[in-house]
Amino acid sequence: MCKYLLLLSWWLAVSLTAQPLEYVRYKVGDATMESALAMPEGATAESPRPAILIVPNWMGPGAYYDTMAREFAQQGFVAMTVDIYGADVRPKTAKDAAEAAGKVGTGDRSTMRNRLIAAVKQIRNRPEVDKQHIVAIGFSFGGTGVLELARSGSTISGVVSFHGGLSTPLPEDNRKIKTSLLVLQGSRDPYVTMEDVLKFLAQMKDTEVQWTFVEYSQATHAFTNPAAKEKGKEEYNEQAALQAWEDAYDFIGRMCEVDTSYMKEADMLNALKKTVANDASITTLPTQPEEPIGKP
């Protein structure tokens, strides 16, 4: 009995201890990025682990996505939040976020793509990472980003877009997609029109891409984010969020060829809720009328 109690105490201590983060700096052109890396216990060059790249919404990296990375690390994945703006750019207001997003996401989105490609290179260069099993997940603006990463021809295992923008300035690049897609959308997202959805689906059907599109009823933009509180526009939806994370975990398991049945979506959401409750600065920030790339 004492042996089992000791094992239980050890497991609880590991589960409740915040995973330490390593801040990784790297150059992309003239800009310096700073991404946060969470490493699972036991990951080594001899025992590499699958990896998750986390691309934040238009507010950029911060405590919310650090928590997400730690949760993935506790489940055995190397996880890195992706800095797409640069180490010296951390938006505080909707205006700041729109300006920062516009600088990397306008035109042909080559800046966005290049910075995401650089993040993939960084994670692949880690000896603790199983280089054949990397999935990128993105949220809102980040969801747009991971789809652009796929359109760049990236050979990572898969991408998951949570309530991201579906349009692209280079639709012909859909034919360059080599990875699998999971696209998770809210049926009442005011920033993604039915026209956007139908155009995206038509484009996907005209390719050989392995893709899955899921739409959640009653869900608006940013429906997985507990900080989203703008009714009818950006509003947290617990039921849809739980299902979306369940769908994402299943996809990640298949793409990384690992068992994810033990991963509980409620654990992720509870950790994110706690982070939001403890940090008043975390917000999706309600927006003004929509800009082409300024989706939060």
Structure tokens belonging to residue 206: 């005209």
Which has the higher per-residue pLDDT, 16 or 201?
201
Q: Would you say residue 268 lies in a domain?
A: yes
Structure tokens belonging to residue 224: 């997985």
Q: Would you say residue 7 lies in a domain?
A: no
Please tell me the pTM assigned to this model.
0.91
Whose CA is closest to 119, among 43, 175, 182, 65? 65
Total domains in the chain come to 1
Mean pLDDT, range 31-58, rounded to an integer: 97
Structure tokens belonging to residue 173: 């690049």
Q: Is it the case that residue 12 has pLDDT exceeding 60?
A: no
Structure tokens belonging to residue 132: 């054949």
Q: What is the pLDDT of residues 213-249, one digit of tens each?
A: 999 999 999 999 999 999 999 999 999 999 999 999 9
Mean pLDDT, range 12-23, rounded to an integer: 64
Q: Would you say residue 5 lies in a domain?
A: no
> Where in 126-222 does DSSP place strands (E)?
129-139, 158-162, 180-186, 211-216
Q: Is residue 80 within a helix (H) or strand (E), and if so which, with residue range?
A: strand 78-81
Q: Would you say residue 291 lies in a domain?
A: no
Q: For residue 18, what pLDDT band results from cuts at 50, 70 and 90?
A: low
Mean pLDDT, range 126-136, rounded to an integer: 98
Q: Would you say residue 14 lies in a domain?
A: no
- List phi, psi (to 5°) of 267: -65, -45
Q: What is the pLDDT of residues 265-289, one digit of tens each?
A: 999 999 999 999 988 777 665 443 3
Per-residue confidence (pLDDT) for residue 20, from 0 to 100 = 83
Burial 210-220 (b: 16+ CB within 10 A, else e): ebeeeebeebb
Per-residue confidence (pLDDT) for residue 5, from 0 to 100 = 40
Is residue 44 within 8 A of residue 29, CB to CB? The reply is no
- Residue-number span of the structural domain to which 222 is assigned: 19-278
Q: Are strands 31-38 and 49-55 parallel, antiparallel or unpaired?
A: unpaired
Residue identified by tokens 């509980």 is 264
CATH (domain of 144): 3.40.50.1820
Rounded CA-CA distance 280/288 in Å is 21
Rounded CA-CA distance 113/151 in Å is 9
State the chain's maximal CA–CA distance in angstroms.
64
Q: Would you say residue 240 lies in a domain?
A: yes
Cα end-to-end distance, the chain, whole Å = 52
Q: Would you say residue 173 lies in a domain?
A: yes
Is residue 144 within 8 A of residue 185, CB to CB? The reply is no
Is residue 193 within 8 A of residue 223, CB to CB? The reply is no
Whose CA is closest to 267, among 9, 20, 16? 16
Which sign, positive or negative, has the C-alpha torsion 150, 154, 158, 161?
Answer: negative
Q: Which residues contact 266 (CB under 8 A, 6 or more apart)?
A: 242
The 8-class DSSP code of residue 256 comes to H
Is residue 144 within 8 A of residue 105, CB to CB? The reply is yes
Is residue 149 within 8 A of residue 116, CB to CB? The reply is yes
Structure tokens belonging to residue 37: 């890396």
Q: Would you say residue 40 lies in a domain?
A: yes
